[in-house]
Amino acid sequence: MAEDRNFDDFIHLATKIVAVTNNYADHVKEIGYSPTERGGQTTVFMKPISAFITQGQSILFPAGCTALNHEVELAVIIGRLACGVSEADALQYVAGYTIALDMTIKNQLIEEEENPKVDGAPDGPDRNLDPMLFMSPGLPWDISKGFDTSCPVGPFIRRERVADPNDQQLWLKVNGQVRQFASTKDMLYSVPCLISCISRRVTLFPGDVIMTGTPGGVGKVVAGDIIEAGLGALAQIVFHVGNKTH
């Protein structure tokens, strides 16, 4: 059971945002990899809580950014302390869910990925330890994925309203045009698997958020664009992309 507290204001409870890449095969394909290649493997990274924004705030186009990408994702909100939890028990640690965006400075991410691999870094994940990498193929993505306003989120949705987190519809539009439309059933690693694998390495606290990866259809936005996204009929968000910061 989740702790008896109000998670409506989860962004002020969270200590961290844990996110994963490459958790949908169609997205892995669109970036030019297969799930078995190093560049296409599911990878864990973090965003700071300063990345959160809610409706009524704008996504700020970062200075130096020439390619800002949108990624729509199901976000999981942790309801109680989770450390080394089993996949079978994982959903008992969930307070609820929301719809979220993982905004990315793509031009900087490419520069980071093209840097040589760190000496001594493994060539692939240790499948006996974890099915996911805790290191990116290049340098850490702190700035390209963790800049201010890079994590727009929707309202808190109680766990009881989501019968199966791996059977939900995700969609995203830019200026009214559909860019992303998919089901969470297409995840390579399910929500329980993600919670279990992450909690074996990183203790999760009430309010912490897990971003579960984006499906295919990722694309660029520019200042002035309007992004709409939703989680089926459960939640919808609208965010304006503001002018460049200096």
pLDDT tens by residue, 36-69? 665 567 889 999 999 999 999 999 988 888 889 9
pLDDT tens by residue, 68-104? 999 999 999 999 999 999 999 999 999 999 999 999 9
In a domain, 3, yes or no: no
Pairwise pLDDT comparison (190 vs 109), residue with the higher score: 190
pLDDT tens by residue, 150-168? 999 999 999 999 999 999 9
What local confidence, expressed as pLDDT, does residue 66 receive? 87
Range(s) of the domain holding residue 136: 10-244
- Which ranges of the chain does DSSP label H, i.e. alpha helix? 25-30, 106-113, 142-146, 191-199
In a domain, 197, yes or no: yes
In a domain, 25, yes or no: yes
Give this prediction's pTM: 0.87
DSSP per position, 42-103:
-BEEEE-GGGEE-BTB-EEE-TT-S-EEE-EEEEEEE-S-BSS--TTTGGGGEEEEEEEE--
In a domain, 237, yes or no: yes
In a domain, 14, yes or no: yes
In a domain, 2, yes or no: no
Number of domains, the chain: 1
In a domain, 1, yes or no: no
What is the CATH number for 229? 3.90.850.10
Looking at the DSSP assignment, which residues form a beta bridge with residue 73?
A: 100
What local confidence, expressed as pLDDT, does residue 109 receive? 64
Residue 246's pLDDT band (cuts 50, 70, 90)? low
What local confidence, expressed as pLDDT, does residue 25 receive? 87
